[in-house]
Structure 1
Amino acid sequence: MVTTAPTLTELPTLPSLVVGTVSHTRRTPVEHAFANRQYQWLVDVDDLPRHRWPLRALTRIEARDHLDGGEQGGGIRGDLTRFLAHRDITLAADDRVVMLANARVLGHVFDPLTVYWCLAPDGRLRACVFEVHNTYGERHAYLLEVDESGRARTDKAFYVSPFNDTSGEYAVSLRLERDRVVVTVGLDRDGERILTATTSGVPRAATDATVVRTAARHLLMTWRVSALIRVHGIWLWTRRLPIQPRTPHSQEDLR
């Protein structure tokens, strides 16, 4: 499915903390923009962080929080392998899977967007998967067709914000390099850009000292993510932005 995909050979040290910002710009029907400091984890799914207590309370990445929740075995890689196989893509045993995600912080995680880069041994991008979570406890995965410039488009199929239904198309731009990780997602509808979200940061090797310093500067990271989503939602609601009806989402498409 992935054609003329880029080759990614200059990867950051893994695992790393990608320290930077997340920004959102809504253009219509209400204008609203914000940018917040954040960090995410960039990891190899076959070599997840394994810090000892107490750092483990800040660094846990678990299969239950992603894709099919590890229900059929094999952890995150097992779920991803089955997801791709059902879409006629084979994830080989020597392929590497690089994952951008949030870790649990004091038992809590909310991960608006997880990205999986599936790389052949020579660095060719074999597949790219976006996993989107909403605040209703649901998630959905998109298999992207990424071109040589790191761009892709895909129809929106999942209810995320209560102010947007499932119509429209995502325009995605990816940058995974040794010194910078950037993911931009724009929502287009009827030829008009509705909103743009960008996460950008600098990878830093996840030594114990780096984890401690980063966590101290970004206190209760995932708790803040959940709280800020609700704060901005309340702001939009007070501006009378219409709430769109939601139909419960089937999780079958994660398999």
Structure 2
Amino acid sequence: MPGPWGAVLYETRTTHVRAVPRRVFRHRGYLWLVDLDRMPELPPLLRPLARFRTRDHAPADASTIRRDLTRRLAAQGIRLDGGRVLMLTQARSLGHVFNPLTVYWCRDEAGAPLCTVAEVHNTYGGRHRYLLRPDGRGRAETAKEFYVSPFLPVDGRYRLVLPEPDGRLHLTVHLDLPGGRAFTATVTGAGRPAGPAALLRAVLRHPFATWAVSLRIRSQGVRLWLRGLPVHPRRPPTENPNEEEVPRG
């Protein structure tokens, strides 16, 4: 149900549940579902509210997100060719964006699912992509390879449920450590065709949404630190082969 911009807007509710100590963190916002071959073209007056900058998802030398993703998948033996790629993400708004999770659903030229890519960003300026082969219900699992929270080790396995959205969005990410489940995140929402009215409605309901995501994550981290949770040291990016630096600016 893409709108006049060829995209869908989902007003979302995100819930994070940490097992020990038990903490529940919820916030509302909105996400875009866009076709990488048909990126939204907003009128000039609305562009400050939504920009899809290649450097927010790919290296500085990449010409487009699609070409960078195609190149990286080809290195893993996956050929996109003319297949469709849908990306679920926050757009850069009012000069800022931080995407804890961006999801790409990749199909071949015949429309058959090829793979799903989960792109994770951390607050230290790092980015990592997990290549997933979900089953028919969108379920997949992968080893954790990337430093995200200072209060969780780079250990264990992610168990994900990432079905390609239609009118509804429902994503789940579990982190299981050797001692049991440590963390669960869910994102749910209802979609509507993306156009000027839908965007303005979302912005008015969730002002400064991209800034709020960064602020809430950091404030939750401060609260956990004040409670005395042990911190797992982060290796410098030069020593972490799984971490790619996100260009600044």
Q: Same fold (TM over 0.5)?
A: yes
Equivalent residue for 1:25, pick from 17, 36, 46: 17
Higher RCO (CA-CA < 8 Å; seq separation 6+): 1
Structure 1 contact 138–251 (Cα < 8 Å) conserved: no
- Who is 2:74 aligned against? 85
- Who is 1:59 aligned against? 50
Distance 1:161 1:253, change over 3 A: closer
Structure 1 contact 95–121 (Cα < 8 Å) conserved: yes
Structure 1 contact 40–103 (Cα < 8 Å) conserved: yes
Cα RMSD (Å): 1.6
Distance 1:220 1:253, change over 3 A: closer
Secondary structure at 1:108 match in 2: coil
- Distance in 2 (alpha carbons) for counterparts of 1:211 and 1:200: 18
CA-CA distance at 1:68 after TM superposition: 2.7
- Post-superposition Cα deviations, 1:167-189, rounded to whole Å, max 9, x if no partner, equal 11000001223211121111001
Structure 1 contact 130–141 (Cα < 8 Å) conserved: yes
- Who is 1:182 aligned against? 170
- Distance in 1 (alpha carbons) for counterparts of 2:166 and 2:133: 23
- Answer yes or no: is 1:133 the counterpart of 2:159: no
Distance 1:192 1:252, change over 3 A: closer
Structure 1 contact 12–178 (Cα < 8 Å) conserved: no
Distance 1:55 1:72, change over 3 A: closer
Equivalent residue for 2:191, pick from 182, 203, 215: 203
CA-CA distance at 1:137 after TM superposition: 0.7
Structure 2 gap ranges (5+): 245-249
Distance 1:252 1:245, change over 3 A: closer
- Who is 1:108 aligned against? 96
Distance 1:183 1:248, change over 3 A: farther
Give the aligned residue type for 1:45: L
- Distance in 1 (alpha carbons) for counterparts of 2:26 and 2:83: 35
Question: If the length of structure 1 is used for normalisation, what is the TM-score?
Answer: 0.89
CA-CA distance at 1:164 after TM superposition: 1.1
- Distance in 2 (alpha carbons) for counterparts of 1:252 and 1:155: 12
Structure 1 contact 67–131 (Cα < 8 Å) conserved: no
Secondary structure at 1:209 match in 2: helix
- Who is 1:160 aligned against? 148
Structure 1 gap ranges (5+): 1-10
- Who is 1:40 aligned against? 31
- Who is 1:6 aligned against? none
Percent identity of paired positions between Structure 1 and Structure 2: 45
Kindly tell me the number of residue pairs found equivalent between the two proteins.
240
CA-CA distance at 1:119 after TM superposition: 1.4
CA-CA distance at 1:165 after TM superposition: 1.8
Equivalent residue for 2:137, pick from 138, 141, 149: 149
- Distance in 2 (alpha carbons) for counterparts of 1:182 and 1:191: 27
- Distance in 1 (alpha carbons) for counterparts of 2:128 and 2:170: 21
Q: After alignment, is 172-181 or 199-208 more displaced?
A: 172-181
CA-CA distance at 1:191 after TM superposition: 5.4
- Who is 1:15 aligned against? 7
- Post-superposition Cα deviations, 1:182-204, rounded to whole Å, max 9, x if no partner, equal 21111001151100011111111
Structure 1 contact 157–167 (Cα < 8 Å) conserved: yes
Distance 1:12 1:23, change over 3 A: farther
CA-CA distance at 1:53 after TM superposition: 2.3
- Distance in 2 (alpha carbons) for counterparts of 1:237 and 1:105: 29
